Amino acid sequence: MSCSNETHRSSDHSHSHHDHDHDDPNRGEQYTLYKHIDVESIRALNEKFPNSAKKIFKTWDERFDQSHILESDVDESSVKLKGISILGGPSESSPMKMKAFINREDIDFDTCESIKADQEWDLVENDNLSLLEYETRVSKFTSLRNLTLYFSENNGAETTKISYIGLKGEFKVLNKDPIITVYELAANPADHKIKSSLLDQADSSIQ
């Protein structure tokens, strides 16, 4: 996944110059999680235009289509997206810092700075529309059900813009059927009548 074997990390902090990949024409097949996103459940806090967060989740072939942009309101804040990973961001309005919180639904503007993120990235300012990939620590993202992304800074613009978010990984269907187990707290003699009869016959044959 990485274009270099050198990855420098300190205090759960990844340096993006060593943990991103440049665009590869064969990578589209790896981005298969788009069809598994519950788009209607995507929610962004502080988005300038309502429901624009849902529109930046696209197929791989549409990744360079910038007709739909997620833009923050004037005050930089967080984007909350469910069940995803992130790629990309163009020019000075692109996010510069990103934090990921895994399987938590209590993250908001008040808690995203005070709670330790599961992973952090320094994002690369990208003007040439080459798609950059940021590694996740796979061991932490194995059982991902909910992902909160917090963009605390951009590269100098008044607002933060994101034009594409993609997913790379594996999808596994969880078994949601309840497991029914019956525990016998007190034995019912009627339930054991046949068993007792067989045991009695066995005792008689031994005698």
Host H or E run for residue 97:
strand 97-102
pLDDT at 127: 63
Q: Which CATH number fits domain 1-181: 3.40.50.1000, 2.60.120.470, 3.90.550.10, 3.40.50.300?
A: 2.60.120.470
Higher pLDDT, 168 or 186: 168
pLDDT at 29: 58
Question: With contact defined as beta carbons under 8 Å apart, do 99 and 120 qualify?
Answer: yes
| Burial status of residue 100 (CB atoms within 10 A of its CB: 0-12, 13-18, 19 or more) | buried
Q: Is the pLDDT of residue 16 over 70?
A: no
Host H or E run for residue 98:
strand 97-102
What is the distance between the alpha carbons of residues 151 and 132, in angstroms, rounded to a whole number? Answer: 17
Q: Is 168 left (phi over 0), alpha (psi -120 to 50) or beta?
A: beta
pLDDT at 116: 93
pLDDT at 9: 35
Higher pLDDT, 202 or 91: 91
- Strands 13-14 and 147-150, by their bridges, are unpaired
pLDDT at 80: 31
Which string of b and e fits 182-207 if b means at least 16 CB within 10 Å? eeeeeeeeeeeeeeeeeeeeeeeeee
pLDDT at 8: 35
pTM for this model (two decimals): 0.49
pLDDT at 194: 47
Q: Is the pLDDT of residue 193 over 70?
A: no
Q: Is the pLDDT of residue 147 over 60?
A: yes
Question: What integer best gives the mean pLDDT of the chain?
Answer: 67
Task: Count CB atoms within 10 A of the CB of residue 73.
Answer: 13
Q: Where would I find the beta strands (DSSP E) of the chain?
A: 13-14, 70-71, 78-80, 97-102, 119-122, 147-150, 161-162
Torsion of CA 80, 19, 152, 118, to 10 degrees: 60
Higher pLDDT, 189 or 43: 43
Segment 75-103 shows an average pLDDT of: 61
pLDDT at 18: 41
| Burial status of residue 55 (CB atoms within 10 A of its CB: 0-12, 13-18, 19 or more) | middle
SS3 133: coil
Q: Is the pLDDT of residue 205 over 60?
A: no
Question: With contact defined as beta carbons under 8 Å apart, do 2 and 18 qualify?
Answer: yes
